[in-house]
Amino acid sequence: MKLILNQEVDGLGVPGDVVDVKDGYGRNYLVPRNLAFAWSKGAEKQITQIKRARSARAIRDTEHANEVKQQLEALTVTLPAQVGSGKKLFGSINNRDVIDAIRASGGPLLEKTAVTLSNPIKTAGKHKVEVKLLPTIAASVTVEVVPA
């Protein structure tokens, strides 16, 4: 079964790659989780759009990664959220919320897999979040959760 990847899949490829996988793996795992979609001749436009978007977000080399790291560490990221008693949030803040807040604060456009939270943020205050730019380079961003 030929598929086009929407997201990075470990051991398989990156977004925009055309991969050939077993029918069951594609039909039961990749397609239902929106990690891939069926390949067709008309899907070439979608492949170019996916690759263009990925190259706009990609870190080119270590020098570029260090520049982005300095930019991120100098950034003040504030996230408004509904806060209850004892600084507890109604709900939580996940990596997508952090990426959107970085972008809104004037930071770079990042891949959604760049920010990894071991646990979602569930309290108001300042939190350190690690942004992985390259396997060897990571930036530490301070995210301040304030009452909305």
Note whether 69 and 86 are same-domain residues.
Answer: yes
Span of 54-63, 83-92, 101-110 with lowest mean pLDDT: 54-63
Note whether 139 and 104 are same-domain residues.
Answer: yes
Note whether 32 and 71 are same-domain residues.
Answer: no
Note whether 72 and 50 are same-domain residues.
Answer: no
More confident residue, 58 or 141: 141
Note whether 25 and 94 are same-domain residues.
Answer: no
Domain, as residue range, for 31: 2-57
Measure the CA angle with vertex 125, ends 72 and 67; round to 5°. 5
Q: Rounded CA gap, 88 and 120, in Å?
A: 12
Note whether 44 and 98 are same-domain residues.
Answer: no
pLDDT tens by residue, 4-28 = 988 888 889 888 888 999 999 999 9
CATH number, domain of 118, equals: 3.10.430.100
Instruction: Using pLDDT thresholds of 50, 70 and 90, give the confidence band for residue 62.
Output: confident
pTM above 0.85, yes or no: no
Note whether 7 and 50 are same-domain residues.
Answer: yes
Which three-class secondary structure state does DSSP give residue 64? helix
Structure tokens, 109? 């456009």
CATH number, domain of 9, equals: 3.40.5.10
Count how many domains the chain has. 2
- pLDDT at position 110 is 82
Q: Rounded CA gap, 35 and 8, in Å?
A: 8
- pLDDT at position 60 is 64
Q: What is the DSSP letter of 13?
A: B
Note whether 122 and 73 are same-domain residues.
Answer: yes
More confident residue, 129 or 64: 129
pLDDT tens by residue, 73-85 = 888 899 999 998 8
Within a 13 Å sphere around the CA of 96, how many CA atoms are in the beta-carbon half?
Answer: 1
